[in-house]
Amino acid sequence: MSRSHSKVLIYVILVLIAFAGTLVDWLLWLSGEPVINTAVLAHAAAIVIGTLLWQFADGKDRGTRASVLSSVMTVVFAPLGSAIHLYQSRDWKAATAILAAFWGGLVVAVLTANFAGNWIATNIIFGGVPASG
């Protein structure tokens, strides 16, 4: 597998994790689980680890390494860490476009899963009665 293919594969898996994790959060919420539970923490950790793996693959693809600052900040707040990585490794226009596409794709996945979870709750679990939440 070529280097750029590994970045794409990591990103696709990251989007699937964002979607599936949000859908699982909906189903756990419907079952009465607390708002913060093991699944939510695992979902957050998977997003952080996936973002780090993408940064490492990107650095390898570009012949550089992700900086310690970007890696640490990714663990603290993933969007900021990925912004640091991208702005350190590219010109600002390319970094901005990639940052918007990267996080925009994840936000779309989460919003799609949120709508799907609401639809499942409303139409399947509650039989047509809107779910509150």
| Structure confidence by residue, pLDDT tens digits, 38-86 | 888 999 999 999 999 999 999 999 999 989 999 999 999 999 999 999 9
Q: How far is CA 88 from the centre of its chain?
A: 21
DSSP state of 57: H
Q: What pLDDT score does 12 carry?
A: 97
- The domain limits of the chain are 3-125
> Per residue in 31-49, is it b (16+ CB within 10 Å) or e — as a string?
eeeeeeeeebeebeebbbe
Q: CA–CA separation, 17 vs 69, rounded Å?
A: 25
pTM over 0.85: yes
Query: Does the pLDDT value for residue 87 go beyond 70?
Result: yes
Quickly state the pLDDT bin for 129 (edges 50, 70, 90).
low
Q: Do the beta carbons of residue 3 and residue 61 sit within 8 Å?
A: yes
